Chains A and B, each alone.
Chain A
């Protein structure tokens, strides 16, 4: 008897809608156009190519192509006519230079091969200021950007420099009104002198310094107190207690660069490590690394500062704090007082008085980590003057506007209105830009400037510490740096490089060698800020009325920064350390607010993340269709949005992502009152990490508290997993528990990578460095969404489900019975409102007993005696067995040919973009597996250098791209057979463990477990 059960394919079918019925009738919803083509007999017959002919041609061309393939191509080689003395093909040269693009400032080192810069590194010389962050590492690719301007332009047409100079001089001669130079922050003496010379030649010249992301309140506070426009310096290594109040000092707070000092204090030494308490609204890198993080709205942050000020200095100001927050602040103040001069308070609250309070607290504490004598002098922007300029432009006072290193049409809150006003009211608009950005596109004159790697320049990074910028390649295009153009306009015949040398010799070097300074990339004088502080704090202004409604906190993303490198595919594809999302900015919303507003994030069938869309309104300005990302740890009542996205002008189509949050950056304040409204539709994110929480899996991330670490045995907090052998428990690392026979690796080098979870801040510099060193392809948003990202090194971010990870474990252990297990694990998937965060860099673990090697049918992956897991790309046939058998999921498959493929219009498909490729590493092709090689090319080079010089390898000489790029020392590399090396010592450390140790694959990457300095 046949069953009369009814089956349906979808809910719609069940409801018996007529559309479904119609669809059932014809298999193809639209008529296929076959008939149209075949019925057209006349055209078929009139064609001179019959089917037979066609087949003949196909056959012939296939045969011809096959035969032709047997002959190798003729390769031409063109050596130099006169080879420069310092260039040897195949040998890298390094040049010291300084990046000062208005957002990032540091002394850096540029690696060049055959005369082309291919990689950025930190300048490791003692005395160098700053370390290379991810954006600086990526800046080398921005030079090889095909969309760069190639000639000067007048009214959108390319012209010669002679014509440009003549025309501009003529027009400047007739200018009525002010000539305004709207520049990025310039602090270099030679550059300042050029501007001064220009100002003395032309009447009514004004310079307005403009930082696209303003530091005005902090600068004003410092200037009011110490009489110099600068930002206080901090050396967090010297601090035992660090309190951050809305200051993402591991991100871009006051120009960043504090992480290396911070990380040094975070590694437990002699039972001690620094304690970090963070109050903040958005979940930031600093907050994620804190021992204690308190989510608070901007208003509350001000109150926290007031309370701290009052408790520490005894100033009788009252703060309006809720009770629970007050308790925390009181405890924090007690800790600060106890630490005394070993404590430091940092604040990012954008209010002059808030900044003054932080300075006053640090002065009162005599904080060792705080320095007003050696402040940061790189930023000098003043938003009040920028506001004034906008007013002047609108009122027609400005006759000529030069934009130098700034892109006001994009970065001003009312950029488009400003552009209109420029067109109407300003006679001469000159944009000094290297890319056709928003401002260049509305400027009549575009004086095309070179990239900083093609330019000369100087900057005072920190009081008394000067950086030199030197070209590392001859300008790729017909460009001229703005200093040269200004010198031309004033009729000074000296080229800027000579000018720079003269100024430096006369004013800075004090008889010391210019060439030495150029070689080092910096020069240090003894200058310092001498004046004693004089405080004038109006603390009560902070305790205003509590704002109703939501607060929007604008921030800059670790990858994109202020957005000037928006056309850089490395930065676009860089997953944000916290949200793990690339190719986007989004509104970060707390879970509670999201629920109240009906906002959601969900995963679709292929695992990708989707989210709701909202309309964001600030002061009458509305941003439509902003995607929502529910961010654990976001303070209730606040939402976050990153600046630097939503650019369109001069960008490749693929890079035109996100929304322009600068339009909400009103009055240059990062905090705004905002209204949010849900709109229909959904957004597709390119998020690389599905899992939010650690689910209590202690064998992935191990962590403990400082107290336990100091008092208990290793066995207690870092036990090696045990397995049963003959009904007895043995350690999984013991040879008896092994499936494989051990290969003796005690001879020669045996490389290990050590990753310290305590000093890893999650900044992701290593990810970009790995991209640059290993020619890792960029795959684009839609591919990332399909989980086909190619990052060899990823930084996993885990949240805790309870307030702490320890709480998670406790909860997990407490489950009893299947029912509770199922529901319990379900609940543990959600991160808590204010979770603990941990960052874990994961790359190929180079297992000595690698599961990938045993399953490769063609032996394309094999093991070396030095511990590396080798991958022979030309041998790989692409079965992907290895990736499936890899417990760490670190193997990446080339689904497409990414180089020379216009479908992937990033940088590998054009000659210019390919100039960044490292010639020592093979570019992989379609259908092969790839993965971290432990920078084999670098270890091999180090060994060869030693062999050639007939000496053993020196301590610290072995490096990988990631260990070299790591500014905090979290990633260390070396030879464990050299007992003196850092990794050999860290292998014996009590904190050492291996990822998923219980599976017994014996990885060559060690992790140092995380110790938190928690207090009850």
Chain B
């Protein structure tokens, strides 16, 4: 504060404007009406109980809760939250109106909540919408600009440096010339170097050296050509831009959604499957916007407007968030396929995921950290084979393996059998 007080005129002015704006906003008047609850505790309760259907500032399955105390008095709210069905049944006009408005879907009863709890929730939902995101957004563009500026200055510095160096070279050259002229003028003889055979000529004349270096060069280039050819068709690191920017980092990483929740066919099918959009809508019906921090992070770090991506999903599925209903006009998303196993190679996800219990990450890498999905493994045959050689077959609790494992491990004299020993290296197991 002291700093502010001692600050410049601009800072003072800003402060003044902000205070003025705040005083104009209706927050203060609500804050006076609302019961004094603990917004922090309220947030916790809200997120665990209400957030599935309600949003603070936007209509979802249920109405937006911001400003609820304006619409209803607190006593009514207590009754409604604890048992809305009873309230509707009692014929309460307000309750019935809401019930009708929301397609006769009654709100869950929360008898476990005390009045104080409800006060806390109300305190949280009555917090005014922060104008912050905009500030953050501008800040982020600011930093971006700054980033741009810094690179410009760097270029200028570099340019200057080059100029100085060039000048130095020029100066040195001139000095040398002057010295030469000076020496000539003074009659100082500069001893001339005796010209021997130049090194390149000597090199050419030495046939052995030429041969060795040609062989060496050929070997080196063969090494690089081989390396180049072997990576043709190997798309490790393939990271295409998708029509909807879907962040595995947020879903699998931050939200810890199990891979197989969306890629459910990995359990039963050879394909892991790209989830159909109705799976997305299981959650995104009620999640129309990401958290403000997430949105800010997305804009700042990845240059992505996550909320826009969700809107793309709504457009594809034909979901009208304002009416909370499907329009029936859908347009499937054309994803760019990342893992393209050739048709002549058979791979079965359910075999690896369900039978062998292989973690998805083993082949797909740290998906939960990937903002943009990419191909982690080379998907070459050598890579497959290597894993089959090293990995033990998971036989525990699987009656299928009981007999064969016992017999085979006796035959090979080992405790644990690798997939290779079970026959997972045979051509026909993957190529038919």
Contact = CB atoms under 8 A, between A and B. Distances in A.
Do chains A and B interact in one complex? yes
A982 to B, nearest CB: 20
A49 interface: no
A77 B233 contact: no
Contacts of A870: 426-428, 431-432
Contacts of A74: 240, 336
A947 B398 CA distance: 7
A936 B278 contact: no
Nearest to A865: B423
A872 B265 contact: no
Interface string B398-432: 11111110011001000000000011001111011
A948 interface: yes
Contacts of B350: 944, 948
B428 A865 contact: no
A744 B412 CA distance: 12
Nearest to B270: A90
A81 B411 contact: no
Taking residues whose C-beta sits less than 8 angstroms from the other chain, chain A's interface range is: 35 or more
B278 A81 contact: yes
B427 A947 contact: no
Contacts of B431: 870, 872-875, 922
B330 A81 contact: yes
B335 A79 contact: yes
Nearest to B410: A747
Contacts of B278: 80-83
A83 B346 contact: no
Given A75-B336, A79-B273, A873-B344, A744 B411 contact: yes
Nearest to A861: B427
B166 interface: no
A868 interface: yes
B235 interface: yes
Given A79-B275, A865-B423, A936-B428, A72 B340 contact: yes
B426 A865 contact: yes
B335 A83 contact: no
Contact of B400 (A79, A744, A937, A950): A950
Interface in B300-337: 316-318, 330-337
B340 A933 contact: no
Nearest to B330: A81
A920 B407 CA distance: 31
B334 A872 contact: no
Interface in A295-354: none
B273 A950 contact: no
Given A88-B269, A91-B268, A870-B426, A70 B399 contact: no
Nearest to B275: A79
Interface string B219-250: 00000000000001101001010000000000
Nearest to A953: B400
Contacts of B276: 79-83
B274 interface: yes
A78 B400 CA distance: 36
Interface in A855-899: 860, 862, 864-866, 868, 870-875
A510 interface: no
A299 B345 CA distance: 61
A51 interface: no
A951 interface: yes
Nearest to B423: A865
Interface string A911-935: 0000000001111000000000100
A387 to B, nearest CB: 55
B428 A78 contact: no
B399 A950 contact: yes
Contacts of A868: 428
A748 interface: yes
Contacts of A860: 427
A169 to B, nearest CB: 32
A54 to B, nearest CB: 29
A921 B428 CA distance: 12
Contacts of A874: 342, 344, 431
B427 A90 contact: no
A866 B337 CA distance: 35
A493 interface: no
A529 to B, nearest CB: 48
Given A72-B340, A79-B276, A90-B265, A866 B423 contact: yes
Taking residues whose C-beta sits less than 8 angstroms from the other chain, chain B's interface range is: 35 or more
B354 A940 contact: no
Interface string A938-949: 001001101110
Contacts of A270: none
A950 to B, nearest CB: 5
Nearest to B233: A72
Contacts of A72: 233, 235, 238, 340
B404 A748 contact: yes
A933 B344 CA distance: 14
Nearest to A748: B404
B265 A88 contact: yes
Interface in B338-392: 340, 342-344, 346, 348, 350-351, 354-355
A226 to B, nearest CB: 52
B400 A921 contact: no
B98 to A, nearest CB: 30
A491 interface: no
Contacts of A88: 265, 268-269, 273
Given A864-B426, A951-B399, A747 B337 contact: no
A766 B274 CA distance: 36
A91 B273 contact: no
A944 B348 contact: yes
B319 to A, nearest CB: 11
Contacts of B427: 860, 862, 864, 870-872, 875
A870 B273 CA distance: 29
B232 A70 contact: yes
Contacts of A950: 397-400
A952 interface: yes
Contacts of A946: 400
A89 interface: yes
In the complex, which of the residues B316, B346, B397 has the most CB atoms of chain A within 10 Å of its own CB atom?
Answer: B346
A76 interface: yes
A72 B232 CA distance: 8
Contacts of B331: 81
Given A950-B397, A951-B400, A79 B343 contact: no
A476 B276 CA distance: 23
Interface in A809-868: 860, 862, 864-866, 868
A874 B428 CA distance: 11
A944 B355 contact: yes
Interface string B274-287: 11111100000000
Given A75-B340, A90-B271, A950-B399, A921 B355 contact: no
A915 B318 CA distance: 29
Nearest to B345: A874
Given A747-B411, A944-B348, A952-B399, A90 B269 contact: yes
Interface string B57-81: 0000000000000000000000000
Rank and list the top 4 A-B pairs by shortest CB-CB distance, nearest first: A870-B428, A90-B269, A83-B276, A80-B276
21 contacts: A69-B232, A78-B332, A78-B334, A79-B277, A81-B277, A81-B278, A81-B332, A82-B276, A82-B277, A83-B276, A88-B265, A89-B269, A747-B407, A747-B411, A864-B423, A870-B431, A871-B427, A922-B431, A936-B428, A944-B351, A948-B268
Given A80-B276, A81-B330, 8 more contacts: A74-B240, A76-B334, A77-B274, A82-B276, A865-B423, A865-B426, A873-B431, A922-B344
Interface of A: 69-70, 72, 74-83, 88-91, 744, 746-748, 860, 862, 864-866, 868, 870-875, 920-923, 933, 936-937, 940, 943-944, 946-948, 950-953
